[in-house]
Amino acid sequence: MCPAFKSEHIPRATIQRLAIYLQVLEALKNEDTEVVSSERLARACDVNPSQIRKDLAYFGEFGVRGVGYNVSKLIQSIKVSIGTDRLWRTALIGVGNLGRSLLRYQGFPKRGFKIVAAFDCDPFKIGEVVADLEVMCPRQMKSRVQELRIEIGIITAPSDRAQRAADYLVEADIRCILNFAAARIQVPDHVYVEYVDFFHHLYVLTFKYCVGEAQRAKTTSKP
């Protein structure tokens, strides 16, 4: 089901960069670019070329000296290395504003994911159809997860209902959870959780801005 890994210890930061490489490579492919040098790829990704060569060497991609990487082949290699050379069947729990926008988002399949079920405990939402999916009661989750062979759960519930949503997913034997709710969740050790919190990106921005301002103030106050 999953590919054999050349390395089981690819660091998280590398996987983050692989996501960037994939994004840029897909754009190059759409422009019918067949081969790309590590320098050009580096510029487009805003990463230095030696970092790219190092990252790609992790999973045995070295490119051809003086020529570069074959775009389609590199896309396929990266997908195999992170396991997205197939579709991961995904359930979403919490059909609020964010949930709806994800359900309507068309970009999942080409990245290797498909939302095949949507759950919400609000009786007014159950039965509603959003992006061709009928919203279901979380009590049905266990049977639907088996039936639809769902492997990933996406939590878009409000923060005070995130733990309950997680409990439903764990109970349904889901082992991968992407949590958009602004709350930490407790799950058993065999369940992987990733948190999406765009506020930390905003904090990085405000922090950098403030540091920049402080430095500018220092520079201009010098005689």
Q: How far is the CB of 65 from a second copy (least distance, A)?
A: 26
Please report which helix (H) or strand (E) contains residue 42, including its range: helix 38-45
Order of strands, edge to edge, in the sheet holding 133-136?
Answer: 129-130, 133-136, 113-119, 88-93, 152-155, 176-179, 192-195
**Between 24 and 141, CB nearer to a second copy:** 24
Cα torsion 23, 101, 190, 88: sign? negative
Residue numbers 150-179 binding a second copy by CB under 8 A: 151-152, 159, 175-178
Candidates 50-58, 69-77, 95-103, 121-129; binding stretch for a second copy (CB under 8 A): 95-103
HSE at residue 85, side-chain half, CA atoms within 13 A, is 16
Amino acid at 179: N
Task: Assess 87 for contact with a second copy (CB under 8 A).
Answer: no
Helix (H, G, I), strand (E, B), or coil: what is residue 84?
A: coil
**Between 46 and 65, CB nearer to a second copy:** 46
Binding string, residues 101-140; x marks residues near a second copy by CB under 8 A = x--xx-x---xxx---------------------------
Q: Which of 57, 34, 56 is nearest to 45 (CA)?
A: 56
**Between 101 and 146, CB nearer to a second copy:** 101
Among 35, 121, 133, 183, binds a second copy (CB under 8 A): 183
Residues 6+ apart with CB under 8 A from 84: 111, 112, 113
Lookup result for tokens 């775009």:
71
Beta bridge partners of 177: 153, 193
Task: Assess 48 for contact with a second copy (CB under 8 A).
Answer: no
Binding string, residues 197-216; x marks residues near a second copy by CB under 8 A = xxxxxxxxxxxxxxxxxxx-
- The binding site for a second copy (CB under 8 A) comprises 1-5, 8, 10, 12, 15-16, 18-20, 23-24, 27, 44-46, 81-84, 88, 97-98, 100-101, 104-105, 107, 111-113, 151-152, 159, 175-178, 180, 182-184, 190, 192, 194-215
